């Protein structure tokens, strides 16, 4: 019993310590640099503009720096100044090296404060429907891309005791037809858990953002037609599944996408807090109540219960 007492005392003191830290002054953005990946559209685009308006020096990594999204970002930020758009394909080591060289050559007086690993891709499809090349691509963008960028910027983050923010998803806990995306998000969560503990001794804080369904706020997942899915299936898969089944699954997944929130700023609010709060959370779950309940069931109930819930959802 006496051995448990220190643990109970710690659990009681932690909320108090957190409240005290939250009462501390928020970060002063001026003179601090942040690099964001995936700024062509979606959360990355919104975050780049928000941080620029707050006073940060923003390096906005775009897959297509000459594309409509990047040009719009520059216009909305008012042209040149504290926001720089750069080419950054997180699957290319040379792009990551070039991004680091650019950041080093344009560091403001307070140095490098934050890295936001936001770039990601998504698709729909049952496990056997997707070729190995697709699995490799998703792992390279969603998982290895974030790791590649993080490793490159760790020395700067340790030097300036900065922040690292990763974009995950509630889909890290369960899957409804997009297991390939769920797989990469579950993996990045474990990478973050290890990194967060290791970085504490350097004063670097690691945060995970876990959005619910915000499909209508981003371009990460377009609607898919049954014909498109069917045309890409192997002959072996076509022998197992018929077009009617593929149509049912496409309708189901597209209906989920159509229910997504259009208010991407809710997610951006969490990202900003992770970068500026004196006491950021390890995880920010930004989701509807029913989505949080689903995560709760998945985390605390036996797998057989969750399988039953998801199987019921899929059957409907």
Q: Which residues are catalytic?
A: 181
Sheet of strand 57-62, all strands in order from the earlier edge strand to the far edge: 83-87, 57-62, 33-36, 112-117, 163-167, 205-211, 283-286
Reference 314, options 245, 215, 264; nearest CA is: 245
Distance CA 157, CA 14 (A): 26
Contact 258, 222 (CB under 8 A): no
Longest dimension (CA), the chain: 66
Distance CA 144, CA 44 (A): 18
Containing 59, the helix (H) or strand (E) segment is: strand 57-62
Other CB atoms within 10 A of residue 295 CB:
18
Contact 280, 274 (CB under 8 A): yes
Contact 204, 244 (CB under 8 A): no
Distance CA 247, CA 298 (A): 28
Contact 182, 171 (CB under 8 A): yes
């Amino acid at each position: 019993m006496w051995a448990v007492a220190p643990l109970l005392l710690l659990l009681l003191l932690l909320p108090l310590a957190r409240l005290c830290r939250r009462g501390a002054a928020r970060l002063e953005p001026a003179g601090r640099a942040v690099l964001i990946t995936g700024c062509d559209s979606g959360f990355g685009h919104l975050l780049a503009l928000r941080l620029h308006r707050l006073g940060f020096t923003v390096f906005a990594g775009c897959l297509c720096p000459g594309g409509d999204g990047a040009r719009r970002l520059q216009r909305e930020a008012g042209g040149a100044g504290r926001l720089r758009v750069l080419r950054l394909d997180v699957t290319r080591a040379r792009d990551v090296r070039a991004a680091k060289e650019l950041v080093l050559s344009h560091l403001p007086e307070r140095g490098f404060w934050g890295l936001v690993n936001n770039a990601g891709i998504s698709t729909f499809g049952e496990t056997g429907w997707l070729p190995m090349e697709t699995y490799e691509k998703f792992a390279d963008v969603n998982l290895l891309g974030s790791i590649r960028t993080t490793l490159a910027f760790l020395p700067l983050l340790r030097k300036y005791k900065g922040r690292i923010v990763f974009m995950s998803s509630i889909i890290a806990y369960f899957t409804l037809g997009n297991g390939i995306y769920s797989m990469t998000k579950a993996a990045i969560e474990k990478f973050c858990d290890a990194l967060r503990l290791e970085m504490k001794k350097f004063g670097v804080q690691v945060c995970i953002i876990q959005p619910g369904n915000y499909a209508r706020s981003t371009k990460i997942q377009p609607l898919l037609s049954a014909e498109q899915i069917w045309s890409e299936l192997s002959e072996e898969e076509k022998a197992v599944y018929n077009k009617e089944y593929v149509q049912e699954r496409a309708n189901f997944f597209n209906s989920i996408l159509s229910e997504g929130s259009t208010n991407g700023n809710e997610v951006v609010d969490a990202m900003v807090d992770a970068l500026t709060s004196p006491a950021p959370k390890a995880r920010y779950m930004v989701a509807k109540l029913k989505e949080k309940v689903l995560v709760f069931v998945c985390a605390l109930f036996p797998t057989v219960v969750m399988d039953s819930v998801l199987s019921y959802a899929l059957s409907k």
